[in-house]
Amino acid sequence: MKLVREAFLAALWPVLLGPAFAQAPEPWQEPLSQRRWEQAEPLLKQALEREETVAALRGLATVYRATGRLAAADPLLERVVALEETVANVEDLAKIKVALPNLRRAEELYRRSLYLQNKAGEDELTSIVTHQRLAQILVGAQKYPEAEAEAMTAMTIRLRKRGPDHPDLAGDVSIAARIYQVEKKFAEAADGWETVIRIQEGAFGIDDLKLAPSLQSLATCRQELKQVPQAEAALRRALAIREANQGPIQVEVAQLLDELGRLLFDGQRFAEAEPVYRRSLATWARLVGPGNSLLASSYDSLAVVLASLTRYREAEELYRKSLTLRDQDDLDSLRNLTLVLVAQEKYKDAEPVYRRALAMVDVPNPEDTQQLTELLSGYAGVLRQLKRPAEAARIEARLKGLPQPVQSKAPPVAAKQVK
């Protein structure tokens, strides 16, 4: 089987590398066709020292690309295009320019490719991918109107050539929808994702896995538009599709549960968010193991929900588990734990946690002023509850010397204030 495969590759490679290769076999032909890059490279360099040919230039560029040296491949492909300007050569060079990145040159090359395709009278369908790649480059260059135009051109060609129900049209529309999302045109993006879903349903069925990412993108747009019921419906449907196709213990399922939990929490639907976050925690634990540090954020999420339901003892237990799992202290987790402890009037337990949190705040950083103010204020209150007024007074004196935060941040959980 190995010999058959090698013979096939050896026969195929001259076709891929062009007619010059077939006419003048070189010593680098065999190692290159068999992807023995370390052997092909010196032979190709020797060949180019003798004579610069398109085949040898392309061959050495292939070695560099296959071994991750894109900057080295770049000038070789520039030379290939100068000697033999074909659509394939121009687009190969454009891909390298995108990766380096040199978006201006990549844009020029993709526009040149479109010109060459049109000049050669090629089928418009072959230009769709080029229009779409150009659109993505224009997004990267923040040329959004031009990016929209290229995406629309690709859609128009497909629509005209294949009709409104062709499955490939879904991919074309999704590119336009993503551009709208980048521009924060969420209404237009939502309309686009609705179209994508309609096409996918017709082509693949109502519970095909391809619908799940489209529904998730639609949910994102609906949330941005404050259309919470529609966003929730899209998330729940995406979750059901992923579970039916992939099973319940999958990374994508856990991520969807987190998204749904956040949506419910943001809507203050804490009782509904709790079972969703519990499922998420159980799923992540199955995926990464019960003692993995990646579970810390899942414990935090469920703890915030339980604290919002005034189930402080359970929330405290989860925050402590979260802090135990982390490689280092997390300021938000520590702050939330202090609030939960204060809500239970566990002032003695809260005091060392406040000290740990305060040790993490970088005072010179202006962004930390608000956090520092809140922590010092809470710490002073705890010290007074512990009958340590002198220490509390020193903390309060320090508070007076701090600049006042512009806007007070609401605590993540409802906690009793101590004075």
Residues 320 and 371 in one domain: no
Q: Mind listing the pLDDT tens digit for each residue in 138-154?
A: 999 999 999 999 999 99
Mean pLDDT of 189-214: 97
**Hey, what are 176's tokens?**
């336009």
Task: State the sign of the Cα–Cα–Cα–Cα dihedral 294, 300, 306, 312.
Answer: positive
Q: What is the pLDDT of residue 358?
A: 82
pLDDT beyond 90 at 197: yes
Q: Which of 190, 215, 246 is the last residue of a domain?
A: 246
**Hey, what are 190's tokens?**
């939502």
Residues 275 and 313 in one domain: yes
- Which region among 21-25, 117-121, 131-135 has the lowest average model confidence (pLDDT)? 21-25
Other CB atoms within 10 Å distance of the CB of residue 226: 8
Q: Mind listing the pLDDT tens digit for each residue in 122-132?
A: 999 999 999 99
Mean pLDDT of 388-416: 63
User: Is 153 within a domain?
Assistant: no
Instruction: Please report, rounded to a whole number, the percentage of residues in the chain having pLDDT higher than 70.
Output: 88
User: Is 63 within a domain?
Assistant: no
Q: Which of 246, 273, 304 is the last residue of a domain?
A: 246
Q: What is the pLDDT of residue 414?
A: 40
From residue 160, alpha-carbon distances to 155, 169, 326 in Å are 9, 11, 56
User: Is 419 within a domain?
Assistant: yes
Helix (H, G, I), strand (E, B), or coil: what is residue 328? coil
User: Is 65 within a domain?
Assistant: no
Q: Mind listing the pLDDT tens digit for each residue in 234-260?
A: 999 999 999 999 999 999 999 999 999
E strand segments, 172-219: none
User: Is 267 within a domain?
Assistant: yes
Residues 201 and 273 in one domain: no
For the question of whether the overall pTM of this predicted structure is more than 0.75, the answer is: yes
| C-alpha to C-alpha distance for 151 and 159, rounded to whole angstroms | 12
pLDDT beyond 90 at 340: no
Q: What is the pLDDT of residue 333?
A: 80
User: Is 367 within a domain?
Assistant: yes
Q: Which of 276, 310, 328 is the last residue of a domain?
A: 328
Residues 252 and 239 in one domain: no
Mean pLDDT taken over the chain:
88
Q: What is the pLDDT of residue 382?
A: 84
Mean pLDDT of 167-189: 97
Contact, 201 vs 229, CB < 8 A?
no
Phi, psi of 112 (to 5 degrees): -65, -40
CATH code for position 267: 1.25.40.10
Mean pLDDT of 59-75: 96
HSE-CB of 275 using CA atoms within 13 angstroms: 2
Residues 324 and 258 in one domain: yes
User: Is 302 within a domain?
Assistant: yes
User: Is 209 within a domain?
Assistant: yes
| C-alpha to C-alpha distance for 41 and 44, rounded to whole angstroms | 5
Radius of gyration of the chain (CA): 30
Residues 370 and 301 in one domain: no
What burial class does residue 214 get, using C-beta atoms within 10 Å of its C-beta: 0-12 exposed, 13-18 middle, 19+ buried? buried
63, amino acid identity: V
Q: Secondary structure of 34-64 in the HEC alphabet?
A: CCCHHHHHHHHHHHHHHCCCHHHHHHHHHHH
pLDDT beyond 60 at 417: no
19 vs 308, which has greater pLDDT? 308
Residues 240 and 192 in one domain: yes
Mean pLDDT of 275-279: 96
Number of domains in the chain: 3
| C-alpha to C-alpha distance for 376 and 357, rounded to whole angstroms | 10
Contact, 339 vs 307, CB < 8 A?
yes
pLDDT beyond 50 at 418: no
What burial class does residue 204 get, using C-beta atoms within 10 Å of its C-beta: 0-12 exposed, 13-18 middle, 19+ buried? middle
* Host domain of residue 292: 248-328
pLDDT beyond 60 at 312: yes
Helix (H, G, I), strand (E, B), or coil: what is residue 383? helix
Query: Which one, of 382, 373, 379, 383, lies nearest residue 409 by Cα?
Result: 373
